[in-house]
C-alpha cells in the first residue's frame, strides 16, 4: 500500500467515524429529551411515588429529602408543577424554575419521563415525570451528578477523538489485510499469465467491489486467451498454407520450366503442332499462377478492417445482372453457347455489405457455373423467412452432370491438389479458392453459402449453389415472378 493511498484511506475512515459518532450522540440525546430513551432514574420514581400517596406536595418533598439525608445523600432540588408550569410546591421553598426546563417536552402519559441533556453529555441535568393524579401534574427534578461521573468537555472530546482513531485504524487494518491477500493472489495470477499459463484466473469468493473487479479481470483474461488461441491457430494455418502453396507453386513452375526448356532445346526439330501444344501449356500454367496469386491476395484482404468498414446498402439485383453479363462474355461461355435464365421479383433486393466483395462473390459463382454447365444456367432470386427475420436467397443452377461428393464436402475449403484437366483452360483447374471466396464473403456479412447436386427428377439437373443474405427491408407482398431469358450473351 502506497503512502498516498494510506493517507486517503485514513482520512476517509476518520471522517466516517466522526460522522457516525456524532449521529449516535445526537440520536441518543434526541430520544432521551423526548422521553423515548432508556432513562429510568430510581430517585425520580421514589419521589414520584411519595407525592402520589399524599395531597400535600410540600410535605412529600420534605419527606423525600429527609429519606435521602438519612441514607447519606445530599438533598435534591425539585418542583411540583401543573400543566401550565405553575409551581405547586418546591424544595428549597420559593426556588425559581430553571430557564432550561422550557426545553423539555411534557410527558403525554402517566409515569412517562422526559430529560434535558447538556451538550456532549449522556447524563441528564433535568428530568420531568408525569404523576398519577386526576389533573396533569408533573415532578421536575434537578439531578446533581457526582463529579466522579461527570467529564469535562476536553475529556469527552479526547475520548471521542480516541474512539475515532481506534475505529479508523481498525478499519484500515482489516482493509490492509484484505488488500494484501488480494494483492498476493493478483501477483500469482499475473505471474502465471506472464509464464504463458493463460488459464490462470482469480477465485471469486464474494460479490463485493473487489469481486466485481476480479470478474472483469477474468473476463479480460478469457478474451486474451481466446485471442491468443486464434492467433496460434492462424499462425499454424498460415504455416500449413505456405507449405502447401510451396508445393502448389512448384508444380506449375516445373511444367513451365520443362515446356520452356523443351522448346528451347528441341523446338527447331518439333512439328508445328507439338510446338503449339508446349506453348499452350506455358500459357495455361501462367494464367493458372496469375489467378491463384490474385485469389490469395483477395482472400488475405477480405477480412481486413478496411474491407469490413466499406459497408453500405447494396442492391443485389443490379450486381447479379452485371455478373451474369460479364460471365456470359467469357471465352468458355461463348464456346459452350451458354443460355442464361433469370427469375426474380420486380423490386431491388437490398442487403448490407461491400459492393466490391459482392461482385467478386458472384463473379466466382458464375465462373463455377459456366465451368460445370452444359448449355444453360438459371439464376433465381427470392426472399424467405429466417430465424433472424427476412433473408435474400439466390439460387445458381447449371444443367451439367453435377459435382462429386468430394467436391461438395470440400466446398469452401482450399484443396491441397488441383482439380480438373490441365490441358483445358485455366478455369478448369482449381485449388478451391473460388469457393473459399464465396463462403468467406457470405459469412462476413451474416449470410451463408452451400452447394448440392440436384436429383434426377429435378429440372434442370446439375449443380445448385444457394447463397443467403439478411434482407434490409421486407419486399412487397404478392409480387409475381418475371422470367427473363437472355441469349447470345445478353446482346
Can you count the helices (H) and strands (E) in the chain?
Answer: 12, 13
This prediction's pTM: 0.45
C-alpha torsion sign, points 261, 264, 270, 274: positive
In whole angstroms, how far apart are CA 399 and each of 218, 375, 453? 55, 7, 11
Cis amide prior to 142 (ω within 30 degrees): no
Cα 378 off chain centre by: 46
Rounded Cα–Cα distance for residues 295 and 429 (Å): 14
Rounded Cα–Cα distance for residues 16 and 486 (Å): 85
**Domain 306-486 carries which CATH code?**
3.30.565.10
476, 347 in Cβ contact below 8 A?
A: yes
**Per-residue model confidence (pLDDT) at position 145:** 56
**Per-residue model confidence (pLDDT) at position 119:** 66
**Per-residue model confidence (pLDDT) at position 468:** 92
Q: How confident is the model at residue 222 (pLDDT cuts 50, 70, 90)?
A: confident
Query: Where does 376-434 show beta strands of DSSP type E?
Result: 376-386, 389-398
**Per-residue model confidence (pLDDT) at position 422:** 43
Count Cβ neighbours within 10 Å for each residue of 170-189 and write b for 16 or more, e otherwise: ebbeeeeeeeeeeeeeeeeb
Q: How confident is the model at residue 489 (pLDDT cuts 50, 70, 90)?
A: very low
Q: What does the radius of gyration of the chain's CA atoms come to, in whole angstroms?
A: 49
Q: Where in the chain is the domain with CATH 3.30.450?
A: 34-150
pLDDT one-digit tens code per residue, 464-481: 999 999 987 544 433 333
Q: How confident is the model at residue 31 (pLDDT cuts 50, 70, 90)?
A: low
Q: Where in the chain is the domain with CATH 1.10.287.130?
A: 201-302
42 vs 356, higher pLDDT:
356
pLDDT one-digit tens code per residue, 98-140: 888 888 888 888 888 888 777 656 667 888 888 988 889 999 9
pLDDT at 490 over 50: no
Q: Where in the chain is the domain with CATH 3.30.565.10?
A: 306-486
What is the chain's length? 491
Name the average pLDDT for the chain. 76
Cα 36 off chain centre by: 51
Nearest to 39 by CA among 145, 106, 138, 124: 124
Rounded Cα–Cα distance for residues 476 and 349 (Å): 11
Complete DSSP assignment for 17-79: HHHHHHHHHHHHHHHHHTT-SS---HHHHHHHHHHHT-S-HHHHHHHHHHHHHHTTPPP-EEE
Query: Where does 333-481 show beta strands of DSSP type E?
Result: 339-344, 350-353, 376-386, 389-398, 448-453, 463-470
pLDDT at 487 over 50: no
3-state secondary structure of 312: strand
**Per-residue model confidence (pLDDT) at position 434:** 75
Neighbours of 256 (CB within 10 A): 18
Among 153-167, 225-239, 254-268, top mean pLDDT goes to 254-268
**Domain 34-150 carries which CATH code?**
3.30.450
Rounded Cα–Cα distance for residues 311 and 51 (Å): 96
Nearest to 313 by CA among 477, 469, 480: 469
Q: How confident is the model at residue 194 (pLDDT cuts 50, 70, 90)?
A: confident
pLDDT at 432 over 70: no
Cβ-Cβ contacts under 8 Å for 76 (sequence gap 6 or more): 43, 47, 64, 65, 68, 91, 141, 142, 143, 144
pLDDT at 396 over 90: yes
Rounded to 10 degrees, the C-alpha dihedral 482/483/488/491 comes to -10
Rounded Cα–Cα distance for residues 138 and 63 (Å): 18
**Per-residue model confidence (pLDDT) at position 122:** 62
393, 354 in Cβ contact below 8 A?
A: no
Rounded Cα–Cα distance for residues 368 and 327 (Å): 10
CATH class, 201-302 region: mainly alpha
Three cell numbers written together for 430: 482449381
**Per-residue model confidence (pLDDT) at position 393:** 92
Share of the chain above pLDDT 70, in %: 72
pLDDT one-digit tens code per residue, 73-95: 888 889 999 988 899 999 888 88
**Per-residue model confidence (pLDDT) at position 486:** 40
pLDDT at 36 over 50: no
pLDDT at 424 over 50: no
Q: How confident is the model at residue 427 (pLDDT cuts 50, 70, 90)?
A: very low
Amino acid at each position: 500500500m502506497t503512502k498516498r493511498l494510506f493517507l486517503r484511506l485514513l482520512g476517509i475512515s476518520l471522517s466516517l467515524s466522526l460522522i457516525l459518532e456524532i449521529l449516535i450522540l445526537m440520536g441518543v440525546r434526541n430520544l432521551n429529551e423526548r422521553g423515548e430513551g432508556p432513562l429510568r432514574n430510581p430517585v425520580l420514581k421514589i419521589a414520584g411515588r411519595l407525592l402520589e400517596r399524599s395531597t400535600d406536595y410540600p410535605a412529600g418533598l420534605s419527606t423525600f429529602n429527609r429519606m435521602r439525608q438519612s441514607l447519606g445523600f445530599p438533598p435534591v432540588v425539585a418542583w411540583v408543577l401543573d400543566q401550565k408550569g405553575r409551581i405547586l410546591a418546591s424544595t428549597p421553598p420559593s426556588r425559581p424554575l430553571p430557564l432550561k426546563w422550557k426545553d423539555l417536552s411534557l410527558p403525554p402519559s402517566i409515569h412517562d419521563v422526559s430529560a434535558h441533556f447538556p451538550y456532549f453529555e449522556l447524563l441528564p441535568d433535568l428530568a420531568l415525570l408525569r404523576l398519577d393524579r386526576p389533573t396533569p401534574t408533573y415532578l421536575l427534578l434537578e439531578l446533581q451528578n457526582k463529579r466522579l461521573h461527570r467529564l469535562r468537555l476536553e475529556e469527552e472530546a479526547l475520548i471521542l477523538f480516541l474512539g475515532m482513531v481506534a475505529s479508523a485504524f481498525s478499519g484500515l487494518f482489516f482493509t490492509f489485510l484484505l488488500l494484501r491477500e488480494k494483492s498476493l493472489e493478483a501477483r500469482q495470477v499475473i505471474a502465471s499469465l506472464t509464464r504463458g499459463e493463460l488459464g490462470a484466473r482469480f477465485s471469486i469468493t464474494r460479490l463485493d467491489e473487489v469481486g466485481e473487479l476480479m470478474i472483469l479481470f477474468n473476463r479480460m483474461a478469457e478474451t486474451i486467451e481466446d485471442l491468443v488461441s486464434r492467433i496460434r491457430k492462424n499462425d499454424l494455418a498460415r504455416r500449413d498454407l505456405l507449405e502447401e502453396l510451396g508445393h502448389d507453386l512448384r508444380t506449375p513452375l516445373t511444367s513451365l520450366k520443362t515446356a520452356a526448356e523443351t522448346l528451347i532445346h528441341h523446338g527447331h526439330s518439333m512439328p508445328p503442332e507439338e510446338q503449339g501444344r508446349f506453348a499452350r501449356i506455358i500459357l495455361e500454367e501462367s494464367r493458372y499462377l496469375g489467378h491463384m496469386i490474385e485469389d490469395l491476395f483477395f482472400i488475405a484482404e477480405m477480412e481486413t478492417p478496411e474491407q469490413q468498414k466499406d459497408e453500405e446498402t447494396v442492391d443485389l439485383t443490379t450486381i447479379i445482372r452485371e455478373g451474369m453479363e460479364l460471365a456470359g462474355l467469357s471465352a468458355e461461355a461463348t464456346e459452350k453457347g451458354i443460355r442464361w435464365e433469370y427469375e426474380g421479383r420486380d423490386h431491388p433486393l437490398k442487403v448490407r455489405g461491400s459492393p466490391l466483395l459482392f461482385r467478386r462473390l458472384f463473379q466466382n459463382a458464375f465462373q463455377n457455373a459456366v465451368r460445370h454447365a452444359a448449355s444453360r444456367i438459371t439464376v433465381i432470386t427470392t426472399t424467405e423467412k429466417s430465424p433472424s427475420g427476412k433473408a435474400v436467397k439466390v439460387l445458381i443452377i447449371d444443367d451439367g452432370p453435377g459435382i462429386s461428393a468430394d467436391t461438395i464436402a470440400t466446398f469452401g475449403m482450399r484443396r491441397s491438389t488441383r482439380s480438373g484437366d490441365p490441358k483445358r483452360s485455366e478455369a478448369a483447374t482449381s485449388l478451391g479458392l473460388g469457393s473459399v471466396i464465396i463462403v468467406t464473403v457470405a459469412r462476413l456479412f451474416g449470410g451463408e453459402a452451400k452447394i448440392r447436386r440436384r436429383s434426377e427428377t429435378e429440372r434442370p439437373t446439375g449443380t445448385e449453389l444457394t447463397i443467403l443474405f439478411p434482407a434490409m427491408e421486407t419486399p412487397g407482398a404478392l409480387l409475381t415472378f418475371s422470367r427473363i431469358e437472355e441469349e447470345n450473351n445478353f446482346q
